[in-house]
Structure 1
Amino acid sequence: MIKNIVFGAFILMANCFFAQNTAMSSAEAKTFVTRISSETKEIKTLQSDFIQTKKMDFLDKNIVTQGKMSLKSPNVLSWKYLKPYQYSIIFKDNKIFINDQGKKTSVDAKSKTFEKINKLIVGSSNGKMFNDPEFSVIYMKNANYNIAKFTPKSAQLLKYIKQIELHFPKNQSTVSQVNMTEASGDTTNIVFKNTKINAPIPASEFSL
């Protein structure tokens, strides 16, 4: 269950299912990566509300949750689910801290799977995810988004994740949507809203 929720925390839903995606040229991809990497270097904190939708084959209805994501450079990340239940996940000091409606636990975050997924999400706010050797990346575009599609190279990560898509609106340098397909075929989608960059974040957001 922890893995499903953690994996779900790293995914954002594309809202243009019918948009025509085309591959970027080498020059376009280079320009895109250079711009995102440069513009996100100044990000110290990032906060956003999110809506997560998970589709599972054995369920007739999608699981929809809402919450808040907070990130503090260089590698502190908090996901707090607020509706319809309360559940918090905090990545800090190489550990994952979990609060499941009052039941608090911690897990070592040094495992390769957790480490790489956390690194990818944090990297999406500073452009460093494009250089992660654990993933191969292809770049696509449509009328509204530039899209980076990440495929794991390691057999360990492929046991859980088939592909992760990060969607960047044409007019901004931070991710607004992510779509992930798990190895099982289930999908988890998250849409970020009301994003704030470099606004003060209370210390309580990174504690249980």
Structure 2
Amino acid sequence: MIKNIALGAFLLVSGLFFAQNTAMSGVEAKAFVTKVSSDTKGYKTLQSDFTQTKKLDFLDKSIVTHGRMSLQAPNMLSWKYTKPYQYSIVFKNNKIFINDQGKKSSVDAKSKTFEKINKLIVGSSNGTMFNDPEFTVAYFKNGSYNVARFIPKTSQLIKYIKQIELYFPKNQSTVSQVNMTEASGDTTNIVFKNTKINASIPASEFSL
């Protein structure tokens, strides 16, 4: 459960545009990275509602959940699932704090896969994700989105993740969708909406 949530959390969101995606030129990719990195430097907080759709090989129906994501610079991240069940996962001080319908626990995240995923999600709010040494990044575009595709390079991450795609609406620097394909072939799609930038976030969002 922890692995699925953490991987799904990064993340952070959607596989709707595979056919239309075309590779950016070197000039386009450089301009895109420069704009996102510049625009997001001033981000202190980020909060969004989300819908997560997970497709598992052994299930005929997708698992759809809803909740709220809260991020506060430099490294606090909270995912609170509200429907159809209550589940919270908070990344803070190199630890993962979990509240599974009232059952609380914590995991040391230092040097763990979860810590690296957390770092990449946080990096999506300040542009530093493009420089993560554990991923190879390729850049694509379609009629509605610019897309950054992350392919893991380390054996630790390859065991869990095949690729992660972040979708940025054209002329925007905030991620609105994330697609993740796990090594098993299972997929996670997260769509963000009602995103608020630099709004005040209560401390309770990062506690259980």
Compute the TM-score of the two structures, normalised by the length of structure 2. 0.97
CA–CA distance in structure 2, aligned partners of residues 23 and 155 of structure 1: 26
Asked whether 1:53 is paired with 2:53, we answer: yes
Q: 1:86-138: CA deviations, max 9, x gaps?
A: 00000001100000000000000113311211110000000000000000000
Asked whether 1:164 is paired with 2:151, we answer: no
CA–CA distance in structure 1, aligned partners of residues 107 and 117 of structure 2: 15
Query: How far did 1:9 drift?
Result: 1.2
Count of residues paired in the alignment? 207
Query: How far did 1:178 drift?
Result: 0.5
More moved, 106-115 vs 54-63? 106-115
CA–CA distance in structure 2, aligned partners of residues 19 and 160 of structure 1: 25
Give the 3 Å change call, closer, same or farther, for CA 88–34 of structure 1 in structure 2. same
Give the 3 Å change call, closer, same or farther, for CA 106–37 of structure 1 in structure 2. same
CA–CA distance in structure 2, aligned partners of residues 171 and 66 of structure 1: 27
Give the 3 Å change call, closer, same or farther, for CA 138–148 of structure 1 in structure 2. same
Query: How far did 1:74 drift?
Result: 0.4
**Is this contact kept in 2: 1:19–1:142, CA < 8 A?**
no
Amino acid at match of 2:14: M
Query: Could you say what the CA RMSD is over the residues aligned between the two structures, in angstroms?
Result: 1.0
Amino acid at match of 1:148: A
CA–CA distance in structure 1, aligned partners of residues 23 and 177 of structure 2: 18
CA–CA distance in structure 1, aligned partners of residues 63 and 17 of structure 2: 19
CA–CA distance in structure 2, aligned partners of residues 166 and 17 of structure 1: 12
The runs of 4+ residues in structure 1 deviating greater than 2 Å are 16-19
**Is this contact kept in 2: 1:96–1:107, CA < 8 A?**
yes
CA–CA distance in structure 2, aligned partners of residues 78 and 130 of structure 1: 22
State the match for 1:107 in structure 2. Answer: 107
Asked whether 1:143 is paired with 2:160, we answer: no
Q: 1:47-102: CA deviations, max 9, x gaps?
A: 00000000001001000000000000000000000000000000001100000000
Query: How far did 1:5 drift?
Result: 1.3
Compute the TM-score of the two structures, normalised by the length of structure 1. 0.97
Q: 1:133-174: CA deviations, max 9, x gaps?
A: 000000000010000000000011000000000000002101
State the match for 2:186 in structure 1. Answer: 186
Query: How far did 1:19 drift?
Result: 5.3
State the match for 2:79 in structure 1. Answer: 79
Q: 1:1-45: CA deviations, max 9, x gaps?
A: 21111111114124x336511100000000000000000000000
**Is this contact kept in 1: 2:46–2:70, CA < 8 A?**
yes
Unaligned 5+ segments in structure 2 are none
DSSP-derived class of the 2:41 partner: helix
CA–CA distance in structure 2, aligned partners of residues 151 and 164 of structure 1: 7
Identity score, percent: 80
